[in-house]
Structure 1
Amino acid sequence: MQRPPEKNTLIVGWNVEAVQLYDRLLETPALGYNVRGFIRPAGNDRRRHYKNVPVVGDLENFSECVKKYKISEALIVLSPSEKTYLPQIIDLCTKNNVEYSIVSDAYEEDYDHVVRHIIRVVLKPREFGFRRIFDILISVTLLILLFPLFIITAIAIKLDSPGPLFYSQQRLGKDGKIFKVYKFRSMVQDAEKLTGPVWAGKEDPRITRVGRILRKTRIDELPQLMNVLLGDMSFIGPRPERPFFAQQFKKQIPFYMARLKTKPGITGLAQVTVGYDETIEDVKEKIKKDIEYIENKDSLLLNLKILLKTIAVVLKGEGQ
């Protein structure tokens, strides 16, 4: 196997586990991690080095360290007393375009989920790999096959209520990139003009008669095949969230921003197991499923199960 290029790396954590991780990396140089230093989340420990690798800073000057040492990846390994800093660390990595891996168990009492990232010697495929080819083939095929359904849907929407056929909305994509997601309009025109951004409820009066059918069968999501074709989305992945809600959720839910490590999808594990968001607890359950999928997204069996479950949801009209 070809040795991967070296990645300038920070170890975020200043504890026994952090130095043990560094020792493991020394024993496996083929992983390609060039550790430039440790970031100390908190505390006044006077020790400044471990095996000639310095403590280069804390969370306040994280961004400066990234620029100074040309950091491309951060390995997060926190002690129990440091784990309250995890959401802040993830946010800093996201803002500085730094890839991150949670190497230790990252557990929060109010968030019943454990994330473990195991460092493996894997050469990650380029973006234009098997998944991208699969997305293009599926989206083009479905756009052609479903074109008659698009025409029927367009006529039904126009006959049912005034307004445009399609509805576009800003969403967060991979690495926090903002893009416009497309749907068939299922609500009255200017549905949020008076209320601002709000969740849709089961008996939402803003939903039109045709809209209820579209949402139950998930037909309203089909225009997102164009988002897949354009490369903003994948066929399977975490659902893209609106920036307004994402800013709220990342303050309340640890690991929320971790879902931005992969492309969002038209369907996903969270959508076929949890359903629509109605409470913050629903969102937390979805994040568990999103992270579970991200950790196992290369599993052919898992992706096949999601596809089959999605088809079942559509046929049974279990959407909302």
Structure 2
Amino acid sequence: MIRQNQKALNLILVLTDAALCFSAMPLAYLIRFLGQRGYGYQVPLSFYLRMMLAAVPVYLLLYRAFDLYASFRRKRIINEAGKVIQANFCGLLLLFVLSYLSKEVHSSRSVLLLFAVINTIFSLALRVTLRKILRVMRKAGRNLKHFLVVGWNENSANFCRRAISNKALGCYIDGYFHDGGPQRFEEAVPCLGSLAEFENYLADHPVDEVVISLDYEDYPRLQHLLEICEKEGVTSSLLPFFDKYIPARLYVEDFEGMPLINLRRIPLDSFMNSLCKRCFDICGSLGLLLVLSPLMLAVALLVKLTSPGPVFYRQERVGLNRRPFLMYKFRSMKAEQNGADKTAWSTREDDRRTAFGSWMRKYSVDELPQLWNVLRGDMSLVGPRPEIPYFVEKFKEEVPLYMLKHLVRPGITGLAQIRGWRGDTSIVERIRCDIDYIEHWTFLLDIKILLLTLTRGVVNRSE
């Protein structure tokens, strides 16, 4: 069944990862020193291969720690790619440590960096290839995972509908059990009997997983149904009736022997994730400040020449953990604001704008000083856009889940911006994008948003 297939696939994946990881080092060595005499200043390839004998097992443990050997039947490739990049970043740090401890002063850091890039590419290519192979097999009716559904309601019907429509998942619904008998359903999923008949059926028919979807009044029967699954050695999953109140990812921790469900555990709560993101923010903002400094100097001069007043505009915004901070922008309005900027958004027809300010806003040039906020730690390159305190107090009463955006650092750009929700647009849609970003953050998602910002998010079409 699927369980045995998954074990075999995991073994193949581990062995292939080990082989690719080991072979990536000589390839990196050859690329670095091809055509040069005295490879690596007399440091032979054998030095790096000995290093890999110690590093490969650690790499495999890192991959396991980042959940890269769990079934990816239901995992998104972008999430897995982000974990591969993070695992290889940690592995690169390990190689630098090993190189330092070896006291080989002529070892090449370029070789180690090339190895990290090559191994990341190898790992991603392997997983993409496996997904494509398995997708073809599943569409052909092979490597299917057989499900039984216990309980019939709107949630279980949606589960069946999605499992059937996406053949690449390889899910086959054998049928469902329901006390009310067969229900009207547009897909070919048979009713196999009442809940009382579930135990006898499970004992005689092998399945891979049982999905339990009970209404509130049936929850007293949950313990008995779980005991039946455990007795037959079948994996069980719960499709709760309160799914509207839980996030896409649940985190369960042990509290003195009791399971405690954290409804808002997010990827950036992880120390390693937050460290990677912060290091990227520091390097990215510092690099962009250096590269864009001529442009920023020219913009500053034009702001000063085209209207009286200061070059920079400072405004209080609400950031991480609802802490206020001063956000910097190039001034795009007349200096006399009379406090209007604290309680109103600027629109395209706003007569407070200067001519040059309108151009800056259209092309998001006025946002460039926020790179300083990123360097200081007030903001991130990517995240929910920060709001002024007046609107935070207003929206937290009007928009569901609005305050969750303050669980992470605000960003210069974000998921809402590349999807077109910026400026004077729906705040509800923006919050949906923000929560989607917070709950599904990966390092690769940040890279994707930054790249798409160059094509979708720079020009403000609402201006």
Q: Same fold (TM over 0.5)?
A: yes
2:422 is aligned with 1:290: no
Q: Find 1:125's aligned residue among 242, 262, 271.
A: 271
Aligned twin of 2:243: 105
Counterpart residue number, 1:251: 397
Which structure 1 residue ranges, 5 or more long, are not aligned? 2-78, 81-102, 108-113
Q: Is residue 180 from structure 1 mapped to residue 326 from structure 2 by the alignment? A: yes
Change (3 A) 1:271 1:194: closer
Could you give the per-residue CA deviations for residues 257-293 of structure 1, whole angstroms, max 9, x where no partner exists? 01111110000001121333436xx100100000000
Secondary structure of 1:238 counterpart: coil
Q: Distance in 2 between matches of 1:264 and 1:144?
A: 22
Distance in 2 of aligned mates of 1:297 and 1:128: 11
Aligned to 2:287: 141
Cα 1:104/1:293, change in 2 over 3 Å: farther
The count of aligned residue pairs is 213
Q: 2:277 touches 2:443 (CA, 8 Å); kept in 1?
A: no
- 1:199 maps to a residue whose letter is W
Task: Quickly say closer, same or farther: Cα 1:200–1:192, change in 2 above 3 A.
Answer: farther
Contact map agreement 1:184 1:220 (CA 8 A) in 2: yes
Does 2:448 align with 1:308? no
Once the two structures are TM-superposed, the CA of residue 206 in structure 1 deviates from its matched residue by: 1.1
Q: Secondary structure at the match of 2:327?
A: strand
Retained in 2: the 8 A contact 1:104–1:116?
no
Summarize the alignment of residues 90-239 of structure 1 with structure 2, pairs less than 5 Å apart. Answer: 105-106=243-244, 115-119=247-251, 124-125=270-271, 129-193=275-339, 197-239=343-385
- Structure 2: give runs of 5+ residues left out of the alignment: 1-60, 62-214, 217-240, 254-266
Matches within 5 A, 1:11-26: none
Q: Deviations over 1:128-164 (max 9, x none)?
A: 6111110000101010111111111011111111110
Q: CA deviation at 1:319?
A: 6.3
**d(CA) in 1 for partners of 2:278, 2:401:** 26
Summarize deviations over 1:2-43 as a string: whole Å, max 9, x none.
xxxxxxxxxxxxxxxxxxxxxxxxxxxxxxxxxxxxxxxxxx
Mapped to 2, the partners of 1:312 and 1:184 lie a distance apart of 22
1:209-253 deviations in whole A, cap 9, x for unaligned?
110111111110010001100011110000011111000000001
Instruction: Provide the rounded CA distance (Å) in 1 between the counterparts of 2:325 and 2:341.
Output: 23
Structure having the higher strand fraction is 1
Q: 1:315/1:198 Cα in 2 relative to 1: closer, same or farther (>3 Å)?
A: closer
- Distance change >3 Å, CA 128–CA 277, structure 1 → 2: closer
Check 1:314–1:245 CA distance in 2 against 1; reply closer, same or farther (3 A cut): closer
Deviations 1:155-187 (A, max 9, x none): 111111111000011111111011110000011
Q: Is the 8 A contact 1:217 1:319 kept in 2?
A: no
Q: 1:313 to 1:116 in 2, by over 3 A?
A: closer
Q: TM-score, normalised by structure 1?
A: 0.61
Q: Among all aligned residue pairs of Structure 1 and Structure 2, give the percentage whose two residues are the same amino acid.
A: 41
- The residue type equivalent to 1:295 in the other structure is E
Conserved in 1, the CA contact under 8 Å of 2:330 and 2:369?
Answer: yes
Matched AA of 1:169: Q
- Deviation string, structure 1 residues 92-136 (Cα, Å, up to 9, x no partner): xxxxxxxxxxx95336xxxxxx84332268881158611111000
Question: What is the identity, as a one-letter code, of the residue corresponding to 2:243?
Answer: D
Residue identity in the other structure for 2:446:
N
User: Aligned to 2:271, what secondary structure does the other structure show?
Assistant: coil
Residue identity opposite 1:297 in structure 2? W
Corresponding residue SS for 1:232: coil
Distance change (3 Å), C-alpha of 1:315 and 1:128: closer
The 3-state SS of whatever aligns with 1:148 is: helix
- Cα drift, residue 190 of structure 1: 2.5
Rounded to whole Å, the distance in 2 between the matches of 1:220 and 1:318 is 15
Deviation at 1:316, TM superposition (A): 4.8
1:276–1:205 CA distance, 2 compared to 1 (3 A): farther
Look up the equivalent residue of 1:294 and give its one-letter code: I
**Alignment RMSD (CA, Å):** 2.8
Q: Would you say the 8 A contact 1:166–1:183 is kept in 2?
A: yes
- Structure 1 residue 263 corresponds to structure 2 residue 409: yes
Distance 1:154 1:264, change over 3 A: same
**Higher relative contact order structure (alpha carbons within 8 Å, sequence separation ≥ 6):** 1
* Counterpart Cα distance in 2 of 1:290 and 1:192: 31
Residues 190, 299 of structure 1: CA spacing in aligned structure 2 closer, same or farther, 3 A cutoff?
same
